[in-house]
Chain A
Amino acid sequence: MTQAVDIALRPRAEVLGQALPALLAAADHLAGSVILGDHGRRRAGMGDEFWQFRPAHAGDTARMIDWRRSARGDATFVREREWQAAQSVMLWVDPSRSMQFSGDKSRASKADRAQLLALALGILLLRGGERVGLAGQDVPARSGRAQTERLARGILAAGAEDYGKPDTTGLVAHGRMVILSDFLGDLAGVEDAIARASDRGVRGALVQVLDPAEEEFPFDGRTIFESMGGSLRHETLRAGDLRARYLARLAERKERLATLARASGWHLTAHHTGQSAQSALLWLYRAVEAPF
Chain B
Amino acid sequence: MWMIGPIGFTAPLLLLGLILLPVLWFLLRAIPPAPIKRRFPGVALLLGLDDETTETDKTPWWLLLLRALAIAAAIIAFAGPVLNPQARAPGNGPLLVLIDGGWADARDWTRRQDRSVALVEEAGRNGRPVAVVRLSDAPEAVVFQTADAVLSRLAAMEPQPFAPNALQGWVDVLPAGEFDSFWLSNGLDHEGRAVLETALQNRGALTVFSSPRPIFALHPASFAEGMVKIAASRLPATGEVQAEVVARGLDPSGIERELARVAVTFPDGQSQTEAAFDLPPELRNRITRFELVGQRTAGAVSLTDDSLKRRKIALITGESDAEGLLLLSQSHYLRQALAPVADLLDGGLQDVLLANPDVIVLADVARLSAEDEKGLLEWIQKGGLLLRFAGPRMAASESAVDGTDPLLPVTLRQGGRAIGGAMSWGEPKPLAPFAEDTPFHGLEVPPEVTVTEQVLAQPGPELAGRTIAALADGTPLVTRRVEGQGQVVLVHVTANADWSNLPLSVLFVQMLERLAVSTRPAVPEESDLAGQIWVPEEVVDAYGQVVAVDDLPGVPGEDLAKAIPGRAMPPGLYAGAERRVALNVMAADTALTPAEWAEGVAVEGIEMVRETALKGAFLSGALALLMVDILAALFLSGRLAARLGPGVAVLILALALMPQGRAQAQDSSLPDDALALEATTALRLAYVMTDDQRVNDMAKAGLLGLSMRLWDRTTVEPLEPIGVDLEKDDLAFFPFLYWPMTANQPIPSSEAYAKLNRFMRTGGMLFLDSRDGGMTGSPEQRRMQEIALRLDIPPLEPIPPDHVLTRTFYLLQDFPGRFIGQPLWVEAAPPDAEQAEGMPFRNLNDGVTPVVLGSADYAAAWAVDDYDQPLVPVGRGNSGERQREIAYRFGINLIMHVLTGNYKSDQVHVPALLERLGQ
Of B49-57, B72-80, B293-301, the segment with at least 4 beta carbons within 8 Å of chain A is: B49-57
Q: Do A227 and B38 touch (CB < 8 A)?
A: no
Residues 176 to 228 of chain A near chain B (Cβ within 8 Å): 182, 184-185, 213-214, 217-228
Partner of B43, one of A213, A234, A245: A234
Residues of B within 8 A of A249 (CB): 45
Check if B32 is an interface residue, CB within 8 A of chain A: yes
Residues of B within 8 A of A223 (CB): 35-38, 638
Q: Do A241 and B43 touch (CB < 8 A)?
A: no
B contact residues, range:
20 to 34
Q: Do A241 and B46 touch (CB < 8 A)?
A: no
Q: Do A236 and B36 touch (CB < 8 A)?
A: no
Check if B47 is an interface residue, CB within 8 A of chain A: yes
Residues of A within 8 A of B642 (CB): 218
Residues of B within 8 A of A253 (CB): 45
- Known contacts: A222-B36, A242-B46. The answer to whether A237 contacts B51 by CB under 8 A is yes
Residues of B within 8 A of A213 (CB): 40
Residues of B within 8 A of A246 (CB): 42, 45-46, 49
Q: Do A225 and B55 touch (CB < 8 A)?
A: no
Whole-angstrom distance between the Cβ of A8 and the nearest chain B Cβ: 24
Partner of A184, one of B39, B44, B637: B44
- In the docked arrangement, what's the CA distance between A101 and B44, Å? 14
- In the docked arrangement, what's the CA distance between A16 and B808, Å? 70
Whole-angstrom distance between the Cβ of A70 and the nearest chain B Cβ: 69
Residues of A within 8 A of B55 (CB): 222, 237-238
- Known contacts: A223-B35, A223-B38. The answer to whether A240 contacts B638 by CB under 8 A is yes
Q: Do B638 and A184 touch (CB < 8 A)?
A: no
Residues 688 to 745 of chain B near chain A (Cβ within 8 Å): none
Whole-angstrom distance between the Cβ of A135 and the nearest chain B Cβ: 22
Residues 228 to 287 of chain A near chain B (Cβ within 8 Å): 228, 232-242, 245-246, 249-250, 253
Check if B157 is an interface residue, CB within 8 A of chain A: no
- Known contacts: A220-B638, A234-B47, A242-B49. The answer to whether A101 contacts B41 by CB under 8 A is yes
Check if A147 is an interface residue, CB within 8 A of chain B: no
Q: Do B51 and A227 touch (CB < 8 A)?
A: no
A contact residues, range:
35 or more
20 contacts between A and B (CB under 8 A): A184-B41, A184-B42, A184-B44, A184-B45, A217-B42, A221-B637, A222-B32, A223-B35, A223-B37, A225-B40, A225-B43, A226-B38, A232-B47, A234-B47, A237-B55, A239-B638, A241-B52, A242-B46, A242-B51, A250-B42
- Known contacts: A224-B38, A225-B38. The answer to whether A250 contacts B43 by CB under 8 A is no
- In the docked arrangement, what's the CA distance between A234 and B47, Å? 6
Known A223-B36, A246-B49; 10 more pairs at CB < 8 Å = A163-B44, A221-B636, A222-B36, A224-B35, A226-B39, A233-B43, A237-B51, A238-B51, A238-B52, A241-B53
- In the docked arrangement, what's the CA distance between A217 and B46, Å? 11
Residues of A within 8 A of B45 (CB): 184, 246, 249-250, 253
- In the docked arrangement, what's the CA distance between A214 and B36, Å? 17
- In the docked arrangement, what's the CA distance between A9 and B636, Å? 41
- In the docked arrangement, what's the CA distance between A224 and B637, Å? 12
- In the docked arrangement, what's the CA distance between A136 and B549, Å? 104
Check if A98 is an interface residue, CB within 8 A of chain B: yes
Check if B169 is an interface residue, CB within 8 A of chain A: no
Check if B486 is an interface residue, CB within 8 A of chain A: no
Residues of A within 8 A of B318 (CB): none
Whole-angstrom distance between the Cβ of B51 and the nearest chain A Cβ: 5
- Known contacts: A223-B35, A240-B638. The answer to whether A101 contacts B52 by CB under 8 A is no
Tally of A-B Cβ pairs under 8 angstroms: 103
Check if B33 is an interface residue, CB within 8 A of chain A: yes
Check if B639 is an interface residue, CB within 8 A of chain A: yes
- In the docked arrangement, what's the CA distance between A220 and B637, Å? 7
Whole-angstrom distance between the Cβ of B434 and the nearest chain A Cβ: 101
- Known contacts: A234-B46, A234-B49. The answer to whether A227 contacts B41 by CB under 8 A is yes
Whole-angstrom distance between the Cβ of A176 and the nearest chain B Cβ: 27
Residues 47 to 94 of chain B near chain A (Cβ within 8 Å): 47, 49, 51-55, 57
Residues 232 to 271 of chain B near chain A (Cβ within 8 Å): none
Whole-angstrom distance between the Cβ of B36 and the nearest chain A Cβ: 5
- In the docked arrangement, what's the CA distance between A165 and B746, Å? 83
Q: Do B43 and A238 touch (CB < 8 A)?
A: no
Q: Do B51 and A241 touch (CB < 8 A)?
A: yes
Partner of A228, one of B35, B39, B638: B39
Residues of A within 8 A of B51 (CB): 236-238, 241-242
A contact residues vs B (CB 8 Å cutoff): 98-99, 101, 163, 182, 184-185, 213-214, 217-228, 232-242, 245-246, 249-250, 253
Residues of B within 8 A of A98 (CB): 41
- In the docked arrangement, what's the CA distance between A222 and B33, Å? 8
Q: Do A236 and B49 touch (CB < 8 A)?
A: yes
Q: Do B638 and A227 touch (CB < 8 A)?
A: no
Most chain-A CB neighbours within 10 Å: which of B35, B37, B46, B638? Answer: B46
- In the docked arrangement, what's the CA distance between A185 and B41, Å? 9
Residues of B within 8 A of A232 (CB): 43-44, 47
Most chain-A CB neighbours within 10 Å: which of B32, B39, B41, B43? Answer: B41
Q: Which residue of A lies closest to B55 (CB)?
A: A237
Residues of B within 8 A of A226 (CB): 37-40, 43
Residues of B within 8 A of A233 (CB): 43
Whole-angstrom distance between the Cβ of B626 and the nearest chain A Cβ: 20
- In the docked arrangement, what's the CA distance between A220 and B889, Å? 78
Residues of A within 8 A of B52 (CB): 238, 241
- In the docked arrangement, what's the CA distance between A185 and B42, Å? 9
- In the docked arrangement, what's the CA distance between A238 and B641, Å? 15
Residues of A within 8 A of B41 (CB): 98-99, 101, 163, 182, 184, 214, 227-228
Minimum-distance CB pairs A-B, first 3:
A221-B638, A220-B638, A98-B41
Q: Do B44 and A185 touch (CB < 8 A)?
A: yes
Residues 636 to 659 of chain B near chain A (Cβ within 8 Å): 636-639, 641-642
Residues of B within 8 A of A228 (CB): 39, 41
- In the docked arrangement, what's the CA distance between A31 and B43, Å? 45
Q: Which residue of A lies closest to B57 (CB)?
A: A237
Residues of B within 8 A of A238 (CB): 51-53, 55
- Known contacts: A238-B51, A241-B51, A250-B45. The answer to whether A224 contacts B636 by CB under 8 A is no
Q: Do A222 and B637 touch (CB < 8 A)?
A: yes
Partner of B39, one of A185, A227, A239, A250: A227
Q: Do B39 and A222 touch (CB < 8 A)?
A: no
Residues of A within 8 A of B36 (CB): 221-224
Whole-angstrom distance between the Cβ of A27 and the nearest chain B Cβ: 36
- In the docked arrangement, what's the CA distance between A250 and B46, Å? 10
Residues of A within 8 A of B47 (CB): 232, 234
Residues 835 to 860 of chain B near chain A (Cβ within 8 Å): none
Whole-angstrom distance between the Cβ of B54 and the nearest chain A Cβ: 7
Q: Which residue of B lies closest to A245 (CB)?
A: B49
Q: Which residue of A lies closest to B54 (CB)?
A: A237
Whole-angstrom distance between the Cβ of A244 and the nearest chain B Cβ: 10
Q: Which residue of B lies closest to A250 (CB)?
A: B45
Residues of A within 8 A of B32 (CB): 222
Whole-angstrom distance between the Cβ of B635 and the nearest chain A Cβ: 9
- In the docked arrangement, what's the CA distance between A101 and B38, Å? 11
Q: Fill in one digit per residue for B4-41: 1 if any A CB lies within 8 Å of its CB, else 0.
A: 00000000000000000000000000001111111111
Residues of A within 8 A of B54 (CB): 237
Q: Which residue of B lies closest to A235 (CB)?
A: B35
Whole-angstrom distance between the Cβ of B63 and the nearest chain A Cβ: 14
- In the docked arrangement, what's the CA distance between A54 and B53, Å? 83
- In the docked arrangement, what's the CA distance between A162 and B779, Å? 83
Whole-angstrom distance between the Cβ of B125 and the nearest chain A Cβ: 58
Residues 395 to 425 of chain B near chain A (Cβ within 8 Å): none
- In the docked arrangement, what's the CA distance between A250 and B51, Å? 18
Residues of B within 8 A of A236 (CB): 46, 49, 51
- In the docked arrangement, what's the CA distance between A228 and B40, Å? 6
Residues of A within 8 A of B636 (CB): 221
- In the docked arrangement, what's the CA distance between A234 and B40, Å? 10
Whole-angstrom distance between the Cβ of A272 and the nearest chain B Cβ: 13
- In the docked arrangement, what's the CA distance between A224 and B40, Å? 10
